[in-house]
Amino acid sequence: MNRLWFARAVALFSVAGLVCSCSTAPSEDLHKETRVLLGTFVEVTVKAEKDKAKQAVRAVLDEMKRVEDLTSFHKPSELTRINALAGSGAVHADPELVALVNESLKFAERTDGAFDPTLGPLAKLWNFSGGGESRLPDDSEIQTALAKTGWRRVKTDTSAGTITLSEKGMSLDLGGIAKVYSLDRARMVLKKLGVRSALVNAGGDVAVVGEKSPGKPWRVGVQDPRNPRGLVAVAAITDGFIVTSGDYERFFLRDGKRYHHILNPETGYPATGLRSATIIAPTGVMADAISTAVFVLGVKRGLEYLKRTPGVEGFLIDDAGKMFFSPGAKDYLEVTSK
């Protein structure tokens, strides 16, 4: 984690902290812990009797660490092992990774490739999430990296337990779903332990178990993409996920232009048109993949996608700061700025 990214994560975290303090009145049975995981700050809040809450928080953090060890793109993981074997045929992989890659390919298909889990070669080039500085690559470098991408060139075989990357130099980057997949798992762990009320915040992406208190949903703030300490909306969430993809988390400015970490798989350059896409959905992987895809699709195609996807709502902010809502989004959202 480079210093700049660390500072950004702190800023994000403090907004999340502000959100949590407005959403959870101080109470003896609220137990909170924070850890740096999956490239961000993870804060777990569990409402339960003290010992049970402590045990649950620890179990959640351990589970999320396990997902990091499975999916990390930069640190050695099961994913980096598979990537290193690109071009050598079908490779045996952890069944959980095979399933996750399968899921990601499903979203690639459903979003016409706006979500593409094979952007590893481009991610390496731009280096938004690894250590060291991000950089603006030459166009020729981008074209060379683009030639090593394409979700149709990945095959999985669930019964054989293998993943095939068809060509040497290809690599999977699951950064668009791994963090919130870990929130899916966190929620599962909490439910298994009998926790009925909890919130897990991973750098602004949030999973919620149950209600905050009887009859009251958890309230989660949506960050203003141009003001790290401001909120544009507050969402009321019971048992579900709220996830945001934005151009303000990992970016650099060059000659007045913003370059950020969500890439258009067609061009290899950062997607344009939106500042943020916030998705409310019943599962984490779904929310995360769709938030990234909608960010790439832009306002018109993004809203069309949300309209035809049942159970999922979204809230987009375009590059002029204008807000757009899917048909049912306002049922969850209280907009705090115009």
Residues that bind ligand ADP (CB under 6 A): 115-117, 119, 123, 128-129, 173, 175-176, 179, 205, 245, 249, 261-263, 265, 288, 291-292, 296
Is 291 or 326 the residue whose CB approaches Mg ion more closely? 291
Amino acid sitting at position 50: K
Is 54 or 106 the residue whose CB approaches ligand ADP more closely? 106
**CA 123/CA 58 separation, integer angstroms:** 32
| Cα three-residue angle 305-306-309, rounded to 5 degrees | 90
**CA 315/CA 328 separation, integer angstroms:** 10
Is position 111 an interface residue for Mg ion (rule: CB under 5 A)? no
**CA 237/CA 226 separation, integer angstroms:** 24
Is position 291 an interface residue for Mg ion (rule: CB under 5 A)? yes
Q: What is the DSSP string of 299-321?
A: HHHHHHHHHTSTT-EEEEEETTS
Minimum CB–partner distance for residue 40 and ligand ADP (Å):
7
Q: Which of residues 217-276 bind Mg ion (CB under 5 A)?
A: 245
| Cα three-residue angle 329-331-332, rounded to 5 degrees | 75
Is 210 or 302 the residue whose CB approaches Mg ion more closely? 302
3-state secondary structure of 121: helix
Minimum CB–partner distance for residue 230 and ligand ADP (Å):
18
**CA 123/CA 279 separation, integer angstroms:** 23
> Among residues 94, 103, 288, 313, which is the contact residue for Mg ion, using CB under 5 A?
288
Is 176 or 302 the residue whose CB approaches Mg ion more closely? 176
Is 286 or 296 the residue whose CB approaches ligand ADP more closely? 296
| Run of H or E residues at 30 | strand 30-37
| Run of H or E residues at 222 | strand 218-224
Minimum CB–partner distance for residue 47 and ligand ADP (Å):
25
Q: Compute how many residues bind Mg ion; rule: CB under 5 A.
A: 5
- Any idea which residue has 């990774």 for tokens? 97
Minimum CB–partner distance for residue 273 and Mg ion (Å):
16
Is 59 or 290 the residue whose CB approaches ligand ADP more closely? 290
Minimum CB–partner distance for residue 42 and ligand ADP (Å):
12
Identify the DSSP state of 211: -
Beta bridge partners of 201: 43, 206
> Among residues 276, 278, 292, 326, which is the contact residue for Mg ion, using CB under 5 A?
292
Q: Which does 265 bind (CB under 5 to 8 A by kind): ligand ADP, Mg ion, none?
A: ligand ADP
Is position 326 an interface residue for Mg ion (rule: CB under 5 A)? no
Cα–Cα separations (whole angstroms), residue 193 to 68, 168, 201, 211, 238: 21, 43, 19, 16, 18
Minimum CB–partner distance for residue 194 and Mg ion (Å):
30
Q: Which of residues 168-187 bind Mg ion (CB under 5 A)?
A: 176
Q: Which does 103 bind (CB under 5 to 8 A by kind): ligand ADP, Mg ion, none?
A: none
Task: Say if CB 177 and CB 196 are below 8 A apart.
Answer: no
Is position 149 an interface residue for Mg ion (rule: CB under 5 A)? no
| Contact set with Mg ion (CB under 5 A) | 176, 245, 288, 291-292
